[in-house]
Amino acid sequence: MRGISPLCVYVLWLREMKKFFRTKSRLFGSLSMPFFFLAFLGLGLRRAAVPNLPSGVSYINFLVPGILGMNMLFVSMMAGLSVLWDREFGFLKEIMVAPVSRLSIVLGRTAGGIATALFQGAMILIVSLVFGFRVGSVAGVALAFGVMILIASTFIGIGLAFASRMRDIQGFSLIWNFVIFPVFFLSGALYPVDNLPRALRTVALADPLTYGVDALRWAFLGTAAFPFGLDLAVLFCVSAAMMILGAVFFETSEGV
């Protein structure tokens, strides 16, 4: 029961990959949102004077790490939603009745979620180059992908915890509106957090994605609001905590 089954993690990851590449509509659907944000915000605010931008950083260069963070948030929460789809289609029972630890199941789903999120992140990065995004160094890109993994684990953990306690897909749209959107808009993905009124800024500081986006900016641009070490420390702790939370919720939930 205890312990991690590598085969289980592998097969859940494999299944996610197969489903991802076989469902073209899902691929285009989830890429469209970041693409529109990039296109309309990036082009629309190209000449606008957004206050408090780091000096010498254009808005598109500021925006792309934010959109990458948004992508990690959205795709990760989809991993939670996929549990609910599995429940809807009965497949969750097939998973839950298997003789593997619930931690293995959570890790397998996380691996699948991270892989799809990183793939989409790479696609967005390529598209953003067309919009004039400038990548500093290869090391910076590698670092950014590391940060993206931490962001993904955080929100996959949260998504799985929610999903283990929910029975239907409609309920998840509430979470989308009342959790995901605030987390996204407060994270400083679209504008510097310093532009927010004081009270909201405090809330933004409690938003894990704030540190994720900041770390991504640091990786790509070499300049950010917080020290990189602080960003990483927060992301490490929160992602570990959320993974444990997801696993505990899964362990104690009933399979049907």
List residues near another protein by CB under 8 A.
Answer: 1, 5, 7-8, 10-11, 15, 18-19, 22-23, 89-91, 93-101, 165-168, 171, 254-256
CB-nearer residue toward another protein: 91 or 226: 91
- Please, what is the minimum distance in Å from the beta carbon of residue 68 to another protein? 27
Reported as type and span, the H/E element at residue 113 is helix 102-130
CB-nearer residue toward another protein: 2 or 198: 2
CB-nearer residue toward another protein: 23 or 52: 23
Residue 120 contacts residue 93 (beta carbons within 8 Å):
no
Residue 236 contacts residue 256 (beta carbons within 8 Å):
no
- Please, what is the minimum distance in Å from the beta carbon of residue 15 to another protein? 6
Q: Which tokens in the block code for residue 70?
A: 């948004």
What is the C-alpha end-to-end distance of the chain, expressed in Å?
Answer: 19
Mapping DSSP to helix (H, G, I), strand (E, B) and coil, where does residue 34 land?
helix
CB-nearer residue toward another protein: 1 or 199: 1
CB neighbourhood size of 49 (10 A): 7
Nearest to 149 by CA among 208, 222, 74, 235: 235
CB-nearer residue toward another protein: 96 or 241: 96
Percent composition of the chain: helix, strand, coil (DSSP 3-state, to 5): 75, 0, 25
- Please, what is the minimum distance in Å from the beta carbon of residue 139 to another protein? 36
